Structure 1
Amino acid sequence: MNERRHGHGVLGHRDDRRDYIPAAGLDALLPAYDLISRVVGSPRLHRRLVELADLRAEQRVLEIGCGTGNLTVLAKRRQPDAEVVGLDPDPRALARATGKAAGLGIRFDRGYSQALPYPDGSFDRVLSALMLHHLEGEARIRTAREALRVLRPGGALYLVDIGGRVSPSDGFAARRQLRSERLRPNLGDAVPQLLLGAGFAECVELTNLVGRLLGRSTFYRATRAA
């Protein structure tokens, strides 16, 4: 594990009637979303994120931008005694997630990461997988602040997304990452700086995985002060 520390002492992209990006980018692609996710390697990232989050019995866990619920379902199956909630703005994706999670006791809510519909200090863990790079500008900042707000003191956000300390030697997909304007806010230490700026006490770069189609994906833990 390669760990780097940074510290100090919904998927919306524009304000119109379709103010989120559907799970597969287009509504018509939603039936193929799970297949696409498997092809690009999302299950491996989900498994690693849940391992790193070290979920415990009786914890309350929220996934923001849950899409069709793959990570949410995995978290619940890994820790059946945790209370797990998934949130996404896309009603079609949530319908699929609800069907996939039948009998598991997971709650799915419709909402936006930048305006979470939960009281302060509601969760022990917040999870986010491959969602942050869809957000721009103020939506990124508000999402980070909202994740902090709904965490209990000492709670943590566990996040994986494309980017981090990307190198051309990571391969073709990584070289595309370095040229992408969309991914620029995720490169280098931009994600830790975003989270620290939102008020997290510490952000730890936990590890990374390099895939042929996604390039480098980096895992972070950002902790709310106890």
Structure 2
Amino acid sequence: MTEISSQERDYLPGLGKHYLMPLYDVVHRVAGLHGVHQQMITVAGLRAGHRVLDVGCGTGNLLRSTGKRHRDVELFGVDPDLKMLARAERKIRRAGLRARLDRGYAQELAFPDDSFDRVFSSLMLHHLDTPSKDEMLAEVRRVLRPDGLLVLADAVLHDHSREHLRDNVGDAVAKRIAAAGFTVEPTRRRKLRMFGEVGIEVARVH
């Protein structure tokens, strides 16, 4: 199921360009992001009946991996790219899983307060400008239940040349998440086979 947000926003697609979308899953495999997703699922501590949202779900790799390991959770995904969502829907269906996939934006999640037990976000935060990062984290906190958990992975960047990337250098991501009303565990670092290093943040609503 795909729904259209009432407000169109500009967004940066996966890999930065729409025409690169067919390479998205190739890059995922080559870089070793499957291992990142497996670690995210492990630290999420999922239990039967949990409702799980992936913000910026792309082609559904994290949702599919989650469903394969935990067939007793409810899966939801949001992404602004309809082509990504169409591919995600096919992959999840072929895996024998079910998920609700909506077209939408991280800054305006179309769900009621306290809707989810866990929220994932993988390599999406750095696509947002600084105000949008804060809007996204506020929305995630809103839709998480009081005992909910955010598990967020993003690139650890060392390039200060672009304003919207500066928020991802060092421990700035963890500080930003904490400022949004979360208690953040120490960052877990994981090196990729290509494209550097990823930081995995685990944050509880407080």
TM-score (norm 1): 0.82
**132-141 vs 208-217, which deviates more?**
208-217
User: Based on CA coordinates, which of the two structures has the bigger radius of gyration?
Assistant: 1
- State the aligned residue count: 196
Amino acid at match of 2:172: A
In the alignment, is residue 215 of structure 1 matched against residue 206 of structure 2? no
Q: List aligned pairs for 1:180-195, cutoff 5 A.
A: 180=160, 181=162, 182-195=164-177
In the alignment, is residue 37 of structure 1 matched against residue 17 of structure 2? no
Task: Report how far residue 39 of structure 1 moved.
Answer: 1.3
- The answer for the alignment partner of 1:101 in structure 2 is 92
% same residue: 43
**206-215 vs 216-225, which deviates more?**
206-215
Q: State the distance in 2 between where 1:69 and 1:212 align.
A: 21
Q: Please give the per-residue CA displacement for 1:16-65, whole angstroms capped at 9, x wherever unaligned.
A: 96611222322222122100111122111111111111211100000000
Q: State the distance in 1 between where 2:30 and 2:88 align.
A: 19
Q: Please give the per-residue CA displacement for 1:151-195, whole angstroms capped at 9, x wherever unaligned.
A: 0001010011111xxxxxxxxxxxxx3234353211222112111
SS in 2 for 1:118: coil
Q: Please give the per-residue CA displacement for 1:187-221, whole angstroms capped at 9, x wherever unaligned.
A: 22211211121122x11124211234221211111
Q: State the distance in 2 between where 1:112 and 1:17 align.
A: 9
- The answer for the alignment partner of 1:138 in structure 2 is 131
Please say if residues 82 and 103 of structure 2, whose CA atoms lie closer than 8 Å, have aligned partners that are also in contact. Answer: yes
Closer/same/farther in 2, CA of residues 206 and 52 from structure 1, 3 Å limit: farther
Please say if residues 37 and 43 of structure 1, whose CA atoms lie closer than 8 Å, have aligned partners that are also in contact. Answer: yes
Q: State the distance in 2 between where 1:99 and 1:211 align.
A: 27
Please say if residues 33 and 192 of structure 2, whose CA atoms lie closer than 8 Å, have aligned partners that are also in contact. Answer: no
Closer/same/farther in 2, CA of residues 121 and 193 from structure 1, 3 Å limit: same
Q: State the distance in 1 between where 2:140 and 2:103 align.
A: 16
TM-score (norm 2): 0.89
Q: List aligned pairs for 1:190-205, cutoff 5 A.
A: 190-200=172-182, 202-205=183-186
Please say if residues 205 and 218 of structure 1, whose CA atoms lie closer than 8 Å, have aligned partners that are also in contact. Answer: no
Q: List aligned pairs for 1:101-140, cutoff 5 A.
A: 101-102=92-93, 103-140=96-133
SS in 1 for 2:158: helix
Q: State the distance in 2 between where 1:65 and 1:75 align.
A: 15
Q: State the distance in 1 between where 2:72 and 2:133 align.
A: 31
In the alignment, is residue 63 of structure 1 matched against residue 54 of structure 2? yes
